[in-house]
C-alpha cells in the first residue's frame, strides 16, 4: 500500500506540475486556441517518465487532458492531445533508456540522443496525433495542416531542449552549484549572464524603446545573444549552456507575448514568425548543448591523460624507490605519502602480518587532524574476517560505509574510527598474505573510480615487492651475522690451536736442546778419552779401571738418553698400553 500510495502521489504531482506550467504559458502568452511556441510541459513530461518510470505516463495523460479541456478544447480533442503527449513522453524516455542515455549530459552522444530522438523524433508523434485530431474534428483548417504540425512539433522540441536539460542537471548535479568557486570565476559567470540578459532583452523586447525603430526590421539582429551563449557553454559547460538557453528562451517568449519580437516584425504573419523563432531556439539550444558536451569531453580526456601521466610517474617513482633502497621503512613511508597526495585521501596506511598470526601498522600518511594508527595492532577477530575476504581474492570497496553490508567486526571498526569511505587491498605473494594497503576517507562518502582501484592494485604489487625484498635482505643479514659469528668462533679456536702448537714447539725445542747437550757432553768425553789413547805410541793401550768405569758410565748415559728420546717419539706416534702385573 505504501508503494501504491507513493506512486499515486508522484502521478498527481506530475499532473499538477504539467497542468500548472502549461496553464501559465498560455496565460502569459495569451495564445487562445493557437499552439504554444515553446511547450515546456513536454520537457516536464519526458523528464518525469525518464526518471520515475513508465507509471508516471498516467500523470502526463491526466495533466494534458485537464489542461486542454480547461483551455476550451472539447473532450475528444483533449483525449487525443493527452494521448499524443503521453505516447511522445513514453517513446522518448524508452528510447533514451534503451540507448543508455546519461543524464549528466557530458557526452556528445547523449546530446545527440536528446536532440534527435527525444526532442525531434518523439515530438513528431504528438504533433501528428494532435494536428490530425484537431483537423479531423474541424477545429483547425486542413490547409494549415503543415504549419500547425510544424509549430506543435517545434514547440515540443524547444520545450524539451529548454526544460529537460535544466531539470536533469538540477536532479543529478545541483551540488556543484554549492561548491566554493574562485571569485574571478564567479565574477565571470555573473558578467556573462548579465550581458546575455541585457542583449537578449534589447534584441527580443526592447528595440522599440531603446533603439531606432527602423532597426526592428534589420535581419539577423536576433543572433546578437549567440556569442554570449557560446561564452557560457565554453566556460561553464553544461550548467552555463542550460541556464543561457533558459534565459534566451524566456526573453524570446516575453518579446513574442508583447508583439515586438523581431521574428514577428520581420515575418509576413504570426505563424511564420513563430516558426522562425522556434527554428532559431532549436539551433541556439542544440549548438550550446553540443558545444558544452564537446568542451566537457575534451576536459575529461585531458584530465584522463594527466591522471594517466601522474599514475605512470607515481608508479615509476615508487618502483625506483623500491629497487634503489633497502630501507623498508623509508620505502613504505614514501609509498603511502605519494598515494595519499595523489588520491587526496585523509589517511593511507600499510598493515603487515607478522610471524605468530598478529599484524601491525608499519607505515602511515594522514592529514594533521586525523588520529594516528602507526604501531596499531588490529584485533584477532578483525584479522580473521579480513583473512576470509582476502582468501577469496576480494577487495573491500566501501563508497559509503554506512550503507555497506560487511562483517560485524569490520563494521564496528568503521564505526569506531568514524570512517565514511574505505578501500582495502590485500598484499599477497605466492598465496601468502603479507598484509593490507588501506585508504580511508573521514570527511564524506566517496565513490572510488576504477582507475584509482587499478592504480592501488599496481602500487600494492610494488609494496609486496618491497616487503619481500626487505624480508630477503633480513634473511641475508641474519645468515651473514651467523656466518660472521661462526668465522669468529673458528678463528678463536684456530688461534688457540696455534698458540698450543707454539707452546709444544717451544717445549720440543727445549727438550731437543737438553737431549742434544747431554748427548754431546757424553760423546765429547768419550771421544777425548779415545783420542788420548790413540796418541800413545805403543800398539797396546792399557786402560785403567777408573777410565774404564768412566767409559761405561758415559755409554750407559748415552743409551739411557737415546732410549728416552725413542720412547717419547714412539708415544707421540702411537700410545702404548701397559699391562702391569705384580711380581
With 70 as the cut, is the pLDDT of residue 5 above it?
Answer: no
Average pLDDT over residues 529-553: 73
Least confident of 465-469, 473-477, 570-574: 570-574
Least confident of 141-150, 191-200, 532-541: 532-541
Question: Which residue in the block uniquely carries the three cell numbers 585523509?
Answer: 346
With 80 as the cut, is the pLDDT of residue 88 above it?
Answer: yes
Q: Which helix (H) or strand (E) holds 323?
A: helix 270-324
Give CA–CA dist 383/194, Å, rounded: 60
Give CA–CA dist 44/47, Å, rounded: 5
Measured CA distances, 93 to 45, 56, 118 (Å):
9, 11, 7
Average pLDDT over residues 127-155: 83
**Dihedral through CA 104, CA 107, CA 108, CA 111, nearest 10?**
-10
With 80 as the cut, is the pLDDT of residue 196 above it?
Answer: yes
Q: Which residue has the higher pLDDT, 117 or 450?
A: 117
φ/ψ of 97, rounded to 5, equals -65, -40
Q: Binning pLDDT at 50, 70 and 90, where does residue 291 land?
A: very high
CA-derived radius of gyration, the chain: 52
C-alpha 145, offset from chain centre: 57
Q: Binning pLDDT at 50, 70 and 90, where does residue 575 land?
A: low
Measured CA distances, 128 to 81, 131, 405 (Å):
10, 5, 51
Question: Which residue in the block uniquely carries the three cell numbers 566556460?
Answer: 235
* 198-233 pLDDT tens trace: 888 888 775 444 444 454 455 567 788 888 999 998
Report the percent of the chain where pLDDT is more than 70: 81
Q: Measured at the alpha carbon of residue 140, what is the angle toward residues 138 and 141, in degrees to the nearest 5?
A: 90
Q: What is the DSSP letter of 265?
A: H
Q: Which helix (H) or strand (E) holds 272?
A: helix 270-324
Measured CA distances, 96 to 89, 413, 515 (Å):
11, 43, 121
Give CA–CA dist 120/109, Å, rounded: 15
Best-predicted range by mean pLDDT among 146-155, 313-322, 355-364, 444-453? 146-155
Average pLDDT over residues 79-85: 90
* 483-498 pLDDT tens trace: 888 888 888 888 888 8
Q: Binning pLDDT at 50, 70 and 90, where does residue 93 land?
A: very high
Q: Which residue has the higher pLDDT, 420 or 551?
A: 420
Q: What is the DSSP letter of 22?
A: H
So what's the pLDDT on residue 4? 40
* 321-366 pLDDT tens trace: 666 666 677 777 877 888 888 778 888 888 777 665 567 787 888 8
Average pLDDT over residues 424-453: 78
Best-predicted range by mean pLDDT among 155-164, 416-425, 511-520? 155-164
Q: Measured at the alpha carbon of residue 401, what is the angle toward residues 395 and 403, in degrees to the nearest 5?
A: 110
Q: Starting at the earlier edge strand, list the strands of the sheet with 396-398.
A: 359-366, 347-353, 432-441, 421-429, 396-398
The secondary structure of 333-400, three-state, reads HHHHHHHHHHHCCCEEEEEEECCCCCEEEEEEEECCCCCCCCCCCCCHHHHHHHHHHHHCCCCEEECC
So what's the pLDDT on residue 387? 66
With 80 as the cut, is the pLDDT of residue 126 above it?
Answer: yes
Report the percent of the chain where pLDDT is more than 90: 9
Averaged pLDDT of the chain: 79
Question: Which residue in the block uniquely carries the three cell numbers 601468502?
Answer: 432
So what's the pLDDT on residue 431? 67
Average pLDDT over residues 556-572: 68
Give CA–CA dist 22/67, Å, rounded: 7
Average pLDDT over residues 227-249: 89
With 60 as the cut, is the pLDDT of residue 152 above it?
Answer: yes
With 80 as the cut, is the pLDDT of residue 118 above it?
Answer: yes
In order, the DSSP letters of 175-237 are: GGGGS---HHHHHHHHHHHHHHHHHHHHHHT-HHHHS-GGGGG-TTGGGTTHHHHHHHHHHHH
So what's the pLDDT on residue 383? 65
Average pLDDT over residues 66-92: 87
| Residues 128, 149 contacting (CB under 8 angstroms) | yes
Q: Are strands 359-366 and 421-429 parallel, antiparallel or unpaired?
A: unpaired
User: Which residues, 6+ apart, have CB-to-CB distance to 347 below 8 Å?
Assistant: 340, 364, 365, 366, 367, 370, 373, 438, 439, 440, 442
Is the C-alpha dihedral spanning 163, 164, 165, 171 positive or negative?
positive
With 80 as the cut, is the pLDDT of residue 236 above it?
Answer: yes
With 90 as the cut, is the pLDDT of residue 389 above it?
Answer: no
Give CA–CA dist 242/248, Å, rounded: 10
So what's the pLDDT on residue 257? 74
* 29-54 pLDDT tens trace: 766 667 778 888 889 999 999 998 88
Q: How many residues does the chain have?
A: 583
What are the beta bridge partners of residue 424? 396, 438
Q: Binning pLDDT at 50, 70 and 90, where does residue 92 land?
A: very high
With 90 as the cut, is the pLDDT of residue 87 above it?
Answer: yes
Average pLDDT over residues 108-123: 90
pTM confidence score? 0.65
Question: Which residue in the block uniquely carries the three cell numbers 550548467?
Answer: 239
So what's the pLDDT on residue 210? 44
426 φ/ψ sector (left φ>0, alpha ψ -120 to 50, else beta): beta
So what's the pLDDT on residue 514? 74
Shortest CA distance to 265 belongs to which of 221, 200, 225?
221
Q: Which residue has the higher pLDDT, 54 or 5?
A: 54
So what's the pLDDT on residue 96? 92
Q: Binning pLDDT at 50, 70 and 90, where does residue 94 land?
A: very high
Amino acid at each position: 500500500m505504501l508503494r501504491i500510495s507513493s506512486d499515486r502521489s508522484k502521478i498527481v504531482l506530475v499532473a499538477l506540475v504539467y497542468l500548472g506550467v502549461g496553464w501559465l504559458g498560455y496565460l502569459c502568452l495569451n495564445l487562445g486556441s493557437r499552439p504554444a511556441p515553446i511547450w515546456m510541459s513536454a520537457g516536464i513530461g519526458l523528464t518525469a517518465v525518464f526518471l520515475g518510470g513508465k507509471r508516471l505516463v498516467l500523470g502526463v495523460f491526466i495533466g494534458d487532458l485537464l489542461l486542454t479541456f480547461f483551455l476550451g478544447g472539447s473532450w475528444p480533442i483533449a483525449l487525443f492531445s493527452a494521448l499524443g503527449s503521453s505516447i511522445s513522453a513514453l517513446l522518448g524516455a524508452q528510447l533514451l533508456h534503451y540507448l543508455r542515455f546519461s543524464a549528466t549530459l557530458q557526452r556528445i552522444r547523449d546530446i545527440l540522443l536528446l536532440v534527435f530522438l527525444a526532442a525531434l523524433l518523439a515530438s513528431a508523434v504528438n504533433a501528428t496525433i494532435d494536428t490530425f485530431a484537431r483537423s479531423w474534428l474541424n477545429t483547425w483548417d486542413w490547409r494549415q495542416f503543415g504549419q500547425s504540425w510544424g509549430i506543435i512539433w517545434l514547440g515540443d522540441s524547444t520545450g524539451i531542449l529548454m526544460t529537460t536539460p535544466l531539470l536533469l542537471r538540477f536532479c543529478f548535479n545541483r551540488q556543484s552549484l554549492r561548491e566554493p568557486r574562485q571569485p574571478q570565476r564567479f565574477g565571470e559567470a555573473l558578467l556573462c549572464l548579465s550581458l546575455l540578459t541585457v542583449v537578449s532583452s534589447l534584441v527580443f523586447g526592447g528595440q522599440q524603446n531603446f533603439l531606432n525603430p527602423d532597426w526592428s526590421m534589420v535581419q539577423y539582429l536576433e543572433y546578437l545573444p549567440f556569442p554570449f551563449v557560446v561564452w557560457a557553454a565554453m566556460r561553464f559547460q553544461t550548467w552555463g549552456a542550460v541556464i543561457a538557453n533558459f534565459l534566451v528562451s524566456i526573453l524570446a517568449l516575453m518579446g513574442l507575448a508583447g508583439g515586438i519580437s523581431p521574428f514577428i516584425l520581420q515575418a509576413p504573419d504570426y505563424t511564420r514568425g513563430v516558426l522562425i523563432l522556434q527554428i532559431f531556439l532549436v539551433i541556439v539550444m542544440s549548438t550550446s548543448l553540443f558545444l558544452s558536451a564537446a568542451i566537457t569531453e575534451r576536459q575529461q580526456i585531458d584530465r584522463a591523460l594527466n591522471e594517466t601521466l601522474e599514475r605512470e610517474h607515481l608508479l615509476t617513482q615508487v618502483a625506483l624507490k623500491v629497487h634503489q633502497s633497502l630501507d623498508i621503512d623509508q620505502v613504505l613511508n614514501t609509498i603511502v605519502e605519494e598515494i595519499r597526495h595523489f588520491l587526496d585521501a585523509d589517511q593511507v596506511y600499510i598493515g603487515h602480518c607478522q610471524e605468530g598470526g598478529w599484524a601491525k601498522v608499519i607505515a602511515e600518511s594522514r592529514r594533521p587532524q586525523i588520529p594516528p594508527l602507526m604501531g596499531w595492532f588490529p584485533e584477532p577477530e578483525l584479522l580473521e574476517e579480513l583473512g576470509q575476504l582476502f582468501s577469496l581474492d576480494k577487495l573491500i570497496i566501501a563508497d559509503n560505509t554506512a550503507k555497506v553490508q560487511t562483517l560485524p567486526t569490520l563494521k564496528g571498526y568503521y564505526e569506531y574510527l568514524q570512517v565514511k569511505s574505505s578501500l582495502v587491498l590485500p598484499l599477497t605473494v605466492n598465496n601468502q598474505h603479507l598484509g593490507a594497503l588501506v585508504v580511508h576517507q573521514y570527511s564524506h562518502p566517496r565513490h572510488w573510480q576504477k582507475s584509482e582501484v587499478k592504480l592501488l592494485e599496481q602500487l600494492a604489487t610494488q609494496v609486496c615487492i618491497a616487503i619481500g625484498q626487505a624480508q630477503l635482505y633480513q634473511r641475508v643479514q641474519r645468515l651473514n651475522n651467523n656466518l660472521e659469528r661462526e668465522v669468529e668462533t673458528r678463528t678463536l679456536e684456530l688461534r688457540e690451536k696455534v698458540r698450543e702448537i707454539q707452546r709444544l714447539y717451544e717445549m720440543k725445542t727445549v727438550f731437543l736442546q737438553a737431549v742434544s747437550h747431554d748427548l754431546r757432553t757424553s760423546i765429547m768425553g768419550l771421544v777425548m778419552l779415545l783420542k788420548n789413547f790413540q796418541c800413545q805410541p805403543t800398539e797396546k793401550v792399557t786402560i785403567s779401571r777408573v777410565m774404564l768405569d768412566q767409559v761405561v758410565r758415559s755409554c750407559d748415559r748415552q743409551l739411557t738418553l737415546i732410549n728416552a728420546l725413542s720412547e717419547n717419539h714412539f708415544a707421540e706416534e702411537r700410545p702404548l698400553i701397559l699391562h702391569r702385573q705384580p711380581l
